[in-house]
Structure 1
């Protein structure tokens, strides 16, 4: 059974709110908007890019534009929650999204899930109930909606900053993350990034292992695989064209590269992914 209850959609403002119940699997369509998901009850696994997170009652997560994600529900304890999608222009003046917060933004992309304390769970429930009532009314005040959204973001920020064992990223790790995002399609070598950061390949490897728990090569390869998967699922572009767009001059080498990391060929992955179903049951 697949059903979605959209409480409000205004494409001109790029704002959408849904109550959802994930019984099986809900897979994203990447977009230019941010996504906040609040879990009221149940359990599930969240896959984001190449990472996995356990969700349960009180989980709140924030995803950035173009992140590839999916929820895999627990058949015995299905998730109930709220999905809130919004464009950056709704919160453009909020310091949470300012450039000086780039350190936190990188960490959030790596560790997007937080657990909200019980007292804040009550407040989140009140906020989303208010949003529901506002959307179901014949008129609404966009400034109040923005205010409520910012309240949710502040609750997320508070929980994020209070979480345990949050790693420290030094400036090199942060600059590397940006460089990979800008150049991974054309530059696959560790030396390119080490030279750009004016350090040795060995030093860069040690810094990234400490900050992210992964080697330089693993991070470059993970970014390539993530982009390849996104193209295989959400586009009709040929595998050969995908290979060339990612900087592989030989499509057969791209096939071997993908199979080594994903354990199946690009074609097998595309066929398997075409069978994914989105299961959202309106609350």
Structure 2
């Protein structure tokens, strides 16, 4: 399969703006969004205030309804056209919209970490009103004719920080557990291609493998090895669909010297052999 068979969406500068950031109203959607499977080269945040929409992100199906936010990180596989009658907004941005320091900060937010793989956030009434206060300020600044780029950046970071606070890992964990969990997922996102052993992550965190696995299981319901393998499989799926690389090349890039072992691991986690997966979803 050639990579050109599946579209990668590029960020398009809004006509009246000269910044790599955009807010789109879903009740007045003036562009065609491909309903077929595609990949993003930008970040997307979907905010639903009324109605319901079905969206697929990295092979997970989400029915997004009011008082919910869907996060679609850069590089994600996405399918969904927003054809339903909806009210809400889509926020689009690229890393270049932010300064380097701001981008480095955002890179550590759990909402954009593919290793955590939790894309949908649901809020109660009080939380939703809190989130909307931040978003309203951002929206107001954006739609002003003479908006200030630096002000937009700070308001966006404030909004992103607020919704990041409601990630399950942040919201339900005890305070003393959060640093270790955040560090683990940062490490995993950085090293998953080359480091497949639990001991590597435990040593970096200066705890035993047993304690790490127990902590992760209490927080996510999954053990360390499951989380490592899930991130590997997700990346393998992306590469199988969006590149013309051979299975051997993909296996090698993901740290597997033995293609057969990679194929067995892939089938164990997906029920498909890699080549079968390509044919099924291409």
TM-score by length of 2: 0.69
| Distance change (3 Å), C-alpha of 1:254 and 1:174 | same
Task: For residue 17 of structure 1, report the CA deviation from its aligned partner.
Answer: 4.7
Task: For residue 129 of structure 1, report the CA deviation from its aligned partner.
Answer: 8.0
Would you say 1:29 and 2:39 are equivalent positions? Answer: yes
Matched with 2:90 is 83
Relative contact order, higher structure (CA 8 A, sep 6+): 1
Q: Which contiguous aligned blocks of 4+ residues in structure 1 show a shift greater than 6 angstroms?
A: 21-24, 162-165
Once residues 66 and 207 of structure 2 are traced to their aligned partners in structure 1, the CA distance between those partners, rounded to angstroms, is 44
> CA contact under 8 A between 1:114 and 1:156: conserved in structure 2?
no
Matched with 1:117 is 128
Once residues 50 and 225 of structure 2 are traced to their aligned partners in structure 1, the CA distance between those partners, rounded to angstroms, is 39
Task: For residue 26 of structure 1, report the CA deviation from its aligned partner.
Answer: 6.0
| Distance change (3 Å), C-alpha of 1:59 and 1:89 | same
1:172 is aligned, of 164, 171, 180, to 180
Would you say 1:192 and 2:197 are equivalent positions? Answer: no
Once residues 26 and 161 of structure 1 are traced to their aligned partners in structure 2, the CA distance between those partners, rounded to angstroms, is 32
Deviation digits for residues 127-158 of structure 1 (CA, Å, limit 9, x no counterpart): 65875x66xxxxx5452x55356445534544
Matched with 1:265 is 273
Deviation digits for residues 215-263 of structure 1 (CA, Å, limit 9, x no counterpart): 0011100110011011112111111110111112222222221111011
> CA contact under 8 A between 2:23 and 2:139: conserved in structure 1?
no
Matched with 2:209 is 201
Alignment of 1:242-281 (within 5 A): 242-274=250-282
Deviation digits for residues 7-60 of structure 1 (CA, Å, limit 9, x no counterpart): 8169974334545579995645242x4322222432234554576654112323
1:106 is aligned, of 107, 110, 122, to 110
2:52 is aligned, of 43, 56, 61, to 43
Once residues 108 and 85 of structure 1 are traced to their aligned partners in structure 2, the CA distance between those partners, rounded to angstroms, is 13
SS at match of 1:244: helix
Moved more, 8-17 or 202-211: 8-17
Aligned residues: 256
SS at match of 2:255: coil
Unaligned runs of 5+ residues in structure 2 are 1-11
Matched with 1:8 is 14
Matched with 1:230 is 238
TM-score by length of 1: 0.69
Q: CA RMSD in A?
A: 4.1
Once residues 178 and 163 of structure 1 are traced to their aligned partners in structure 2, the CA distance between those partners, rounded to angstroms, is 15
Task: For residue 205 of structure 1, report the CA deviation from its aligned partner.
Answer: 0.5
Unaligned runs of 5+ residues in structure 1 are 1-5, 135-139, 275-283
Matched with 1:3 is none
